[in-house]
């Protein structure tokens, strides 16, 4: 998708078209798509935390239309994953393997039979259900994203601070998750802390270079 939007942007600029192109990258959003998406899991599908309200995406799109930008990530959780994939991909793999598969499954068996098949929107529009903005996510839904609001101010120090905050929040969430689940391994915890320190130091060095 990024390659497509970059190519489209260049073609439009070359033609002098008065059109801006922004790649909007939302994190986990509380929309009904888990209800009408095809599900091959044994459990009902859901979205992993942190989850944001659909209005956060709408506000980001409106802002991009008024003040063009190349791309925008909606939600600090999504940005934290992007940064982690760039600086600590193997660590991110382990975290996602340990946490995200379980978080994408609800604590109830998946629906079966003809009715369940008709609700899937894979091959044709879902047969039942009303149009809705919100899904059925059972956890906390953030009504706004401080990270996205900060980055929309287009200040380098502000963007760097928002990025550091997203990474720090993700690291804290990872540690707390391990502590509350009782599955923290001292060796793996050390690897997480070491990797998080490395990510933070690299981001700080990049900020100093830009300044």
**What is the tally of structural domains in the chain?**
1
pLDDT of residue 23: 94
181 has pLDDT over 50: no
For residue 105, report the phi and psi dihedrals to the nearest 5 degrees: -125, 130
Give the closest residue to 137 by CA, choosing from 22, 209, 10, 32: 32
pLDDT of residue 188: 45
What Rg value do the Cα atoms of the chain yield, rounded?
Answer: 20
Q: How far apart are CA 10 and CA 16, in angstroms?
A: 10
83 has pLDDT over 50: yes
Mean pLDDT of 24-48: 85
198 has pLDDT over 60: no
Average pLDDT value for the chain: 75
Q: pLDDT confidence of 207, banded at 50, 70, 90?
A: very low
Residue-number span of the structural domain to which 177 is assigned: 2-210
pLDDT in tens, 12-32: 999 999 999 999 999 889 988
* Cis bond upstream, residue 50 (ω within 30): yes
Residue in this structure with the two tokens 């919100």, named with its chain if needed: 134
Note the pTM of the prediction, 2 decimals: 0.62
pLDDT of residue 155: 53
Give the closest residue to 142 by CA, choosing from 19, 27, 33, 18: 27
pLDDT in tens, 115-167: 455 466 677 776 666 778 888 888 899 898 888 888 877 655 555 555 666 66
């Amino acid at each position: 998708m990024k390659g497509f939007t970059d190519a489209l942007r260049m073609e439009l600029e070359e033609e002098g078209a008065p059109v801006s192109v922004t790649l909007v990258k939302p994190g986990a959003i509380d929309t009904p798509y888990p209800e009408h998406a095809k599900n091959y899991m044994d459990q009902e599908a859901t979205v992993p935390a942190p989850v944001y309200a659909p209005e956060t995406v709408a506000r980001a799109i409106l802002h991009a239309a008024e003040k063009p930008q190349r791309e925008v990530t909606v939600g600090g959780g999504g940005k934290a994953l992007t940064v982690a994939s760039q600086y600590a991909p193997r660590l991110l793999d382990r975290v996602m393997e340990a946490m995200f598969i379980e978080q994408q499954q609800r604590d109830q068996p998946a629906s079966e039979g003809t009715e369940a098949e008709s609700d899937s929107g894979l091959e044709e529009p879902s047969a039942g259900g009303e149009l809705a903005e919100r899904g059925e996510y059972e956890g906390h839904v953030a009504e706004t994203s401080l990270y996205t609001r900060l980055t929309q101010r287009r200040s380098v120090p502000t963007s760097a601070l928002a990025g550091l905050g997203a990474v720090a929040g993700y690291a804290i969430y990872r540690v707390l998750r391990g502590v509350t689940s009782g599955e923290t391994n001292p060796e793996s915890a050390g690897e997480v802390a070491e990797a998080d320190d490395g990510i933070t130091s690299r981001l700080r060095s990049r900020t100093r270079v830009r300044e």
